[in-house]
Amino acid sequence: MIKRNRREMMTWLENKEPTERSDLLKAARKGCKTLREQHMEIEKRFFKTSTKIC
């Protein structure tokens, strides 16, 4: 969804104050990192259980 709306989102972000923009981008990076860690953990558990089945 972000890729699809990137241009509109960046235009919206440009209208924010510099500190607010910085805070929003920092929170987005942190959220992305957390989400990636969760997905990697799920993937590890999946492969761990699938190797036991084979």
Task: Give the C-alpha distances (Å, rounded to integers) separating 18 from 11, 23, 24, 36, 46.
Answer: 13, 9, 10, 27, 42
pLDDT tens figures, 8-31: 988 999 999 999 999 999 999 999
Q: What is the DSSP letter of 54?
A: -
pLDDT: which is higher, 6 or 17: 17
**What is d(CA 17, CA 22) in angstroms, rounded to the nearest whole number?**
9
Q: What is the mean pLDDT of the chain?
A: 88
**What is d(CA 47, CA 44) in angstroms, rounded to the nearest whole number?**
5
Share of the chain above pLDDT 70, in %: 91
Answer yes or no: are the C-beta atoms of 24 and 16 closer than 8 Å: yes
